[in-house]
């Protein structure tokens, strides 16, 4: 006999319980007013005074300020403190969604720091995860990309981002709002086919007819994340074995490193680059083409043949000497590099 389905309210409560129960610092909910984040706000209201709400107004269309104010009114009904965070940075026509995304997380993390929140919650759903996996599949991503959005990741060294609804379909959250009589908005940009995510959203029902459902894409993300975690752990172990810190530089034992599988070598070098020049604004996941070219066509052949190599990547100078030592340091200005040549 199959088990009875878990009621929707209970499913949301279970997803939120690990984050709400025993929280020792405030939580910040990112609420746009759509059905997903409205359901998040309603379900998380049980956290009481420890729950704060923020709406990011990107000011990209008429009426966005009033929409944000509407979220504030609903939050007030739930007894929650609400803040509108307005993006006031210069805009560009190209890449506007990516720029808005970066601004959104920057505004949220800054506000979380002001109120002492160690955790920011968003209402990304299984549908969002499926779209993300498809986008990264099209971009030729490795396992770290096919893992999609993580359920938990750092925003800053002190603040984490959690996505408790990644395993819940959007339709369930719409049904939750309707069952509780909650008003919600529909963002017209979600159907704007100028944007790749909107085009993929329209494609998903056709793929589902062939068996590639959002649930299966979600499972792919879980499996890729599991494999990625294992590779990452292995790479961290190897890095600790081959790295030696110097003054403003990092040296790697290239001969020892070259005995590892190529996937581990790339991850070790990626982690070493981050030690020298961490870039918190870099896209997640990073594009791997230049790293693959550096490692597969430059670094490993140079180590195997005992050749000197000098390259720059992500603001880091990578040098290989004839003895197989790899040196990484902050790259000098381009003029200085030309003059030394």
CATH 3.40.50.620, the chain: domain bounds? 8-220
Q: Which residues contact 295 (CB under 8 A, 6 or more apart)?
A: 262, 265, 266, 269
Is 90 one of the annotated binding-site residues? Answer: no
Asked if residue 94 belongs to a known ligand binding site, the reply is: no
pLDDT of residue 337: 46
The dihedral region occupied by 287, where left means phi > 0, alpha psi between -120 and 50, and beta the remainder, is beta
32 labeled binding residue:
yes
Instruction: Check whether 33 is labelled as a binding-site residue.
Output: yes
Provide the pLDDT for residue 196.
Answer: 79
Paired sense of beta strands 51-57 and 81-86, if any: parallel
pLDDT digits (tens, 9 = 90+) for 79-112: 999 999 998 766 565 567 778 888 899 999 999 9
**CA nearest neighbour of 17 among 222, 162, 172, 182:** 162
Backbone angles phi, psi at 306, to 5 degrees: 70, 30
* Ordered alpha helix ranges (H), 78-169: 96-115, 126-138, 143-146
φ/ψ of 332, rounded to 5, equals -70, 165
What is d(CA 86, CA 91) in angstroms, rounded to the nearest whole number? 13
Strands, DSSP E only, in the chain? 27-30, 51-57, 81-86, 119-121, 152-154, 160-162, 243-246, 249-253, 309-313, 316-320, 325-330
DSSP structural state of residue 6: P
Q: Which class does domain 8-220 fall in?
A: alpha beta
For residues 162 and 119, the answer to whether their CB atoms sit within 8 Å is: yes
DSSP per-residue string spanning 13-53: HHHHHHHHTT--S-EEEE--SSHHHHHHHHHHGGGGGGEEE
Q: What percent of the chain has pLDDT over 90?
A: 71
Residue 116 backbone class (left: φ over 0; alpha: ψ -120 to 50; beta: rest): left
Q: What is the mean pLDDT of the chain?
A: 89
User: Would the annotation count 37 as a binding residue?
Assistant: yes
**Is 34 known to sit in a ligand binding site?**
yes
- Whole-number Å distance between alpha carbons of 37 and 43: 10
Please indicate, yes or no, whether the overall pTM of this predicted structure exceeds 0.85: no
Q: pLDDT (tens digit, 9 = 90+) per residue, 141-163? A: 888 899 999 999 999 999 999 99
């Amino acid at each position: 006999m199959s088990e009875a389905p878990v009621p929707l309210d209970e499913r949301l409560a279970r997803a939120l319980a690990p984050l709400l129960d025993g929280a020792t610092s405030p939580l910040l909910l990112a609420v746009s007013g759509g059905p997903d984040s409205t359901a998040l706000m309603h379900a998380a209201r049980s956290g009481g005074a420890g729950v704060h709400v923020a709406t990011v107004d990107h000011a990209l269309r008429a009426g966005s300020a009033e929409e944000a104010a509407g979220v504030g009114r609903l939050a007030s009904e739930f007894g929650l403190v609400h803040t509108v965070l307005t993006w006031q940075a210069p805009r560009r026509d190209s890449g506007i969604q990516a720029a808005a995304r970066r601004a959104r997380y920057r505004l949220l993390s800054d506000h979380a720091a002001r109120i002492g929140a160690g955790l920011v919650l968003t209402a990304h759903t299984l549908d969002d995860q499926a779209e993300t996996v498809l986008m990264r599949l099209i971009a030729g991503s490795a396992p770290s990309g096919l893992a999609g959005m993580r359920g938990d990741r750092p925003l800053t060294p002190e603040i984490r981002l959690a996505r408790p609804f990644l395993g819940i379909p959007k339709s369930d959250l719409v049904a939750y709002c309707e069952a509780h009589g909650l008003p919600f908005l529909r963002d017209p940009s979600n159907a704007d086919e100028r944007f790749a995510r909107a085009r993929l959203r329209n494609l998903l029902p056709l793929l589902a007819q062939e068996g590639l459902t959002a649930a299966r894409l979600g499972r792919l993300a879980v499996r890729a994340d599991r494999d990625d975690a294992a590779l990452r752990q292995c790479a961290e172990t190897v890095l600790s074995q081959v790295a030696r810190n110097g003054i403003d530089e990092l040296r790697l034992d290239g001969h020892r490193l070259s005995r590892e599988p190529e996937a581990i070598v790339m991850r070790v070098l990626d982690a070493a680059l981050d030690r020298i020049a961490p870039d918190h604004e870099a896209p997640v996941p990073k594009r791997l083409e230049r790293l693959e070219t550096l490692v597969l066509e430059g670094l490993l052949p140079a180590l195997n043949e005992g050749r000197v190599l000098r390259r720059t990547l992500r603001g880091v100078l990578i040098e290989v000497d004839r003895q197989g030592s790899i040196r990484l340091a902050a790259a000098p200005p381009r003029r200085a590099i030309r003059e030394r040549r």
